[in-house]
Amino acid sequence: MKRSHLLLAGSLITVGVMVGSSLPGTVIAGQAGVAEKGVESRNEKWAEKFPNQFKTWMQTSENDTITDMLEKKPQLAVLWAGYGFAKDYNAPRGHFYAVQSNINSLRTGAPVGPATGPMPTACWTCKSPDVPRLIEEQGELEYFTGKWAKYGNEMANAIGCADCHSSQTAELTISRPYLERGLEAIGVDTKNIDSESMRSLACAQCHSEYYFKATEWTDKKGEKKVAKVVTLPWDNGLTAEDMEKYYDELGFKDWTHKISKAPMLKAQHPGYEIFSTGIHAKSGVSCADCHMPSTTEGDETFSDHHIASPMENIETVCLGCHDQEAEELKAVIETKFERKEQLMEIAMDSIAKAHLEAGKAWEIGATETEMKEILTDIRHAQWKWDYAIASHGSFFHAPEETLRLLAVANETAQTARLKLVQVLAKHGAVDFIAPDFSDKTKAQALAQVPLAKLVEEKENFRATLLKEWEKQATAKGLLDPATRKGMSDKTSYMK
Ligand code: HEC
Ligand code: HEC
Ligand code: HEC
Ligand code: HEC
């Protein structure tokens, strides 16, 4: 947070008490870390030296709630038909559960050995400090080569200290090389990042849009391999339109939609990007100002590492900068949320219907030429909706941008639907009405998701290979089973 911005900020802000600014990187600069070399991925190894940070970091285990978003918003299963997210998608939980959520998700499938399963290694990238450890030990391209199951016995620790801090100096660091490349693409000198920027960039390592870029390489033994490298599509800039252009020019698609056959993009939480367009970012406020406020216990002041929703903590988080009642601010947040919900529902409905109407058009003989523009509209509509929504918290971080994108998404989907009316009429289905997708069962049936089979396979995997992974990780000294004692193990599918 830059002081000069705040001084200009007017009556909303009381300048006297400012969270965040009293805790720059200097607090720990020069202070030795926890290892002489390498990446110390075991969070508990940091506890002795940094007890307050460890204790509050552990509190991210408090939010273990599974909110099945497909049940809450069944349109999602139609929007993602043919893609993993139509199988299983839950709202985010505390960082403590990142590895477990990833393993339990039906999206990661049920591998039976290191070279099987639907997902690449890249799927671990935002879950564990074992990722920077492996990148350092094996090289980035080797890390990004192979199937997700290749590293099942290596990913033992959930998002923690070494994701954000250097194991040698304990200073904030960028542990993911792809973020450095993304920043360089937008002209940031990554050798000279100031400590204030790091208070957001630490989060941007994971709360950003990315795709898997297929990259050919040759290993030391001369073997040719293809890595799926996490890549930030930032070359043209950070807005939804900038990234859409990037993907369009590349001819990239994440998948072909099962119903409409549209070449789809999946937005992966561009949280940092959309936050950057909002008033807080423009005023120099960083992610850590609100999600890791400064706290004092006894005579010790430190950053609260219990990263969570600030909603229950408005006094500490917001009132350092805002001269308002907590209740008033809470109501402001709630209103912003409701406005987003309303436009989001409309956009999701329009896009889901567009997919189903396009499906019908194909069924009754529509041609590629008739469908081409329509499918591009659907692709663009869904991308903008997803960019706005997958960035959790965007309704607060950047409310205007969120509502703008939802409005554009709806308009683009409706344009596709108008064109579809003509195509449907031409092929004799002028009265077609999209089928009902008002609950998860109906929506997943339309998306042709074989849920019972997926769950059965997953349960098998959890009872067999997963147990092996845990044993192996423990034997290697990567996993201390005591750290998972009493840990809940909830999923959307085990009732
Ligand atoms: C998601 C990123 C993230 C994770 C995970 C994380 N930290 Fe931090 N940490 C931060 C940020 C941001 C700051 C604030 C630094 C600043 O203001 O310059 C910070 C500050 C600190 C400081 C400096 C004193 C203070 O409290 O401000 C220490 C020490 C520290 N963290 C230790 C840890 C330890 C130990 C762990 C693991 C138990 C951990 N951190 C996990 C991001 C993280
Ligand atoms: C290494 C990747 C990574 C980093 C770094 C990271 N996050 Fe996360 N974050 C995630 C993942 C993955 C989840 C979802 C975990 C789950 O559902 O199991 C998540 C969840 C969250 C949640 C939801 C928590 C809840 O209880 O609802 C918040 C808030 C959040 N992150 C904020 C931040 C902030 C702020 C930073 C930077 C200080 C940050 N994250 C850094 C990957 C990361
Ligand atoms: C000015 C304060 C503020 C700043 C700065 C801020 N956030 Fe948030 N964040 C919030 C609020 C308020 C919410 C909404 C919480 C809710 O709905 O319960 C939120 C929600 C979130 C969520 C969703 C949590 C959930 O469980 O759904 C994530 C993830 C998140 N923020 C990450 C970030 C990241 C990453 C940054 C920086 C790029 C950031 N935030 C910057 C205040 C802030
Ligand atoms: C580090 C300081 C800081 C923190 C912490 C902070 N804000 Fe702000 N907030 C600002 C600044 C600066 C502005 C821009 C004010 C302006 O330009 O008039 C702002 C603007 C706002 C606005 C008006 C803009 C909009 O998006 O509607 C709201 C509402 C708001 N903040 C709510 C909150 C809430 C709620 C929290 C806690 C979750 C919070 N802020 C935390 C500094 C802060």
Residue among 423, 426, 381 at smallest CA distance from 405: 381
Which residues make beta-bridge pairs with 217?
225
**Measured distance CA(152)–CA(468) in Å, rounded:** 9
Centroid of ligand 4 to alpha carbon of 306 (angstroms): 21
pTM (2 decimals)? 0.95
Q: What whole-number distance in Å separates Cα of residue 350 and Cα of residue 75?
A: 10
Q: How far is the CA of 441 from the centre of ligand 1 (A)?
A: 43
Q: What angle do CA 340, 388, 203 make, to 5 degrees?
A: 115
Strand, helix or coil at 452? Answer: helix
- DSSP state letters, 357-413: HHHHHHHTT--HHHHHHHHHHHHHHHHHHHHHHHSTTHHHHSHHHHHHHHHHHHHHH
Instruction: Name the token pair of 296.
Output: 């004092």
8 Å CB contact between 390 and 274: no
pLDDT tens-digit map of 44-96: 999 999 999 999 999 999 999 999 999 999 999 999 999 999 999 999 999 99
Q: Whose CA is nearest to atom 3 of ligand 2?
A: 206
Atom of ligand 4 nearest to the CA of 285: 1
Question: DSSP label at 323?
Answer: -
* Cα dihedral 482, 487, 489, 495 sign: positive
Tens of pLDDT along 124-169? 999 999 999 999 999 999 999 999 999 999 999 999 999 999 999 9
How high is the pLDDT of residue 31?
63
Give the model's pLDDT for residue 442: 98
374 contacts 423 by C-beta, under 8 angstroms: yes
Ligand 4 centroid–CA 15 distance in Å is 12
Can you say how many angstroms the Cα of residue 161 is from the centroid of all Cα atoms in its chain? 19
399 lines ligand 4 (CB under 6 A): yes
pLDDT one digit per residue (tens) for the chain, 495 residues: 433 333 333 333 333 333 333 343 444 544 689 999 999 999 999 999 999 999 999 999 999 999 999 999 999 999 999 999 999 999 999 999 999 999 999 999 999 999 999 999 999 999 999 999 999 999 999 999 999 999 999 999 999 999 999 999 999 999 999 999 999 999 999 999 999 999 999 999 999 999 999 999 999 999 999 999 999 999 999 999 999 999 999 999 999 999 999 999 999 999 999 999 999 999 999 999 999 999 999 999 999 999 999 998 999 999 999 999 999 999 999 999 999 999 999 999 999 999 999 999 999 999 999 999 999 999 999 999 999 999 999 999 999 999 999 999 999 999 999 999 999 999 999 999 999 999 999 999 999 999 999 999 999 999 999 999 999 999 999 999 999 999 999 999 986
